Structure 1
Amino acid sequence: MNLLHIPVGEANAALDCYLLDNSSEIDAHRTRPCIIVVPGGGYLETSDREAEPIAVRMLAYGYQACVLRYSTYPAHYPTALLELAQAMATIRANAEDWHIDPDQLFVAGFSAGGHLTASLGASWSTEMPEQYGFDAGQIRPNGLLLGYPVISSGEFAHRPSFDRLLGDRSTDRNALAHVSIETRVTPDFPPTFLFHTLTDSTVPIENSLLLIAALRRAGVSVEAHLFPSGRHGVSLGTVESMYADGSGVEECVQAWPELFRRWLDSRTQEAQALYPPPRNRQ
């Protein structure tokens, strides 16, 4: 395995890459899906509990994994979004050397990281890439994983996230509307896998329900799992990702990684059927 630490943007943001090696005993030319993990933290920090534990689980499924430590408060929108876009472009530019299938690049965001991930899903096909010097194809996610995401700036908003994200513009109605993802879903929004818990008292489940409804109206493929229990920030729901006080272990939530693996593998198989690899691999 190769471990890479790559600065992103102009501040202290970085992309930590966990890259599985190829072996001639198995498949010297193998390419793998890649998951960019985007931790939450209310745009105040990036949570360790939603970073390496998630990446390690993705590695166990045979995927390459990267963790984006994006800029948080006092950095404001669109700083983190541009850092995620740069991370996407960096991975695709190095896909061959890193044994990554550039057409299987997925973004997994949790809580406020889910908002950042969904922001890219809503922005990649707009004027944003050209405005900031990106190629839309280089920053396009092939799919999203959203864990208990911050979505809406309206009635069910996690207000501290939007206050930190927007700073002095946090009471500007136009700015708030622009970062309310359920209002920005188009048919270009990436296929989405989503999970939330019914007992989340920090980011109400209505955030996910609003997004699900918007995705359905736009004809975007979505698979959603709503679990009966679990506090906010439940991550994997295991001892490996629990809070320091011992909370956050939820047996029902522990199902989501395997459900996500099945969802992602089905999408990979569909892509391979449409675009089969060349037979001559020498």
Structure 2
Amino acid sequence: MQYIERFIDGIDGSKARFIGYAIDNSPEIDMQRRRPAVLVIPGGGYAMTSDREAEPIALKFLSAGYQAFVLRYSVSPSRYPVALIEAAEAMRLIREHADEWHVDADHVATIGFSAGGHLAANLATSAGDDDLRAHGYDPDAVRPNALMLAYPVITSGEFAHRGSFDELLGPDHKADADRLEAVSIERHIDAVTPPVFVWHTMTDRTVPVENTLMLVQACKRAGVQVEAHLYPEGDHGLSLGTKESMWGGQDGVPCVQSWPQLAIDWLGRTFAA
């Protein structure tokens, strides 16, 4: 197995950390094998990137046969679109090194958690296209082929997680309706959006489930394939829902522990289509 580490220069002088786990090919099996890949984007309200939503998620997908990468993107005081450009560069790296890392460049998904879900969706939809072009990226060249989201920050409207947008846009953003609309994902889902898998809990007290419901409605209107799973209990930031991945070693939430296999099964079907 290859362990990969790169540093991505942020457009504001910050640095993002890009980590990868790539399964090597074997002469006993298939030396030409190219595996699908997943870019993991942890959450943290654009103020930090969660350990619990980084390597544990990458290793789960790695164990299912996916090459797995993690982006530790720049957070506050970095502002939009710093993290978006870093996510684009992470996707560019994966596809540029597809031969070296045994990746099928046409089957690269991203999975984002909470505010990391907002970043993943910003990259996957048309929301960030103008900003990507302004910084030298072809949006279609860095767009993932599938989008997976866990309790994502989606809307900047009534049901917004205000803390995420405060960190993303800075303290002076509240009076700028155009800036808020530009990063409200449900307003930017259209034909370029890849298939979507999303899960949320009905009792999330931090990022209301309405974020996911609005996402699903927007996907339906745009004709974007979407699979959604709503769980009856559990607060925000559950990661895998296991004791090992919970805040402070809290007890797990059994009802949500099905989501990783559901996501892996969905991704397999999506990439086989």
Contact conserved, 1:169 with 1:175, CA < 8 A, in 2? no
CA deviation profile, 1:119-167 (whole Å, cap 9, x unmatched): 1112378434332111334201101000000001111010010001001
Which residue matches 2:99? 96
Which residue matches 1:130? 133
CA deviation profile, 1:156-215 (whole Å, cap 9, x unmatched): 010010001001442111111111111111111111000000110000000000010000
Alignment: residue pair count: 269
1:223 aligns with 2:227: yes
SS in 2 for 1:252: helix
Q: CA RMSD in A?
A: 1.3
Give the AA of the match of 1:88: M
Contact conserved, 1:9 with 1:86, CA < 8 A, in 2? no
Query: Hey, what's the Cα distance between the residues in 1 that align with 2:109 and 2:128?
Result: 16
Which residue matches 1:273? none
Q: Report the TM-score, using the length of structure 1 for normalisation.
A: 0.92
Which residue matches 1:6? 6
Give the AA of the match of 1:7: F
Deviation at 1:245, TM superposition (A): 4.9
Deviation at 1:23, TM superposition (A): 0.5
Which residue matches 2:145? 142
Which residue matches 2:259? 256
**Quick check: 200-209 or 137-146, which moved more?**
137-146
Give the AA of the match of 1:179: V
Contact conserved, 1:124 with 1:136, CA < 8 A, in 2? no
SS in 2 for 1:263: helix
1:236 aligns with 2:235: no
Query: Hey, what's the Cα distance between the residues in 1 that align with 2:163 and 2:194?
Result: 27
Query: Hey, what's the Cα distance between the residues in 1 that align with 2:27 and 2:154?
Result: 44
Relative distance call for 1:125 and 1:158 in structure 2 (3 A) is closer
Deviation at 1:57, TM superposition (A): 0.3
Query: Hey, what's the Cα distance between the residues in 2 that align with 1:67 and 1:124?
Result: 22
1:204 aligns with 2:208: yes
SS in 2 for 1:164: helix
Query: Hey, what's the Cα distance between the residues in 1 that align with 2:111 and 2:100?
Result: 22
Relative distance call for 1:124 and 1:63 in structure 2 (3 A) is farther
SS in 1 for 2:153: coil
Query: Hey, what's the Cα distance between the residues in 2 that align with 1:265 and 1:12?
Result: 33
SS in 2 for 1:156: coil
CA deviation profile, 1:88-145 (whole Å, cap 9, x unmatched): 0111000011000000110100000000011111237843433211133420110100
Q: Which runs of 5+ in 2 are unaligned?
A: none
Give the AA of the match of 1:209: L
Which residue matches 1:152? 155
1:178 aligns with 2:182: yes
Percent identity of paired positions between Structure 1 and Structure 2 = 51
Give structure 1 regions of 4+ aligned residues with deviation exceeding 4 angstroms: none
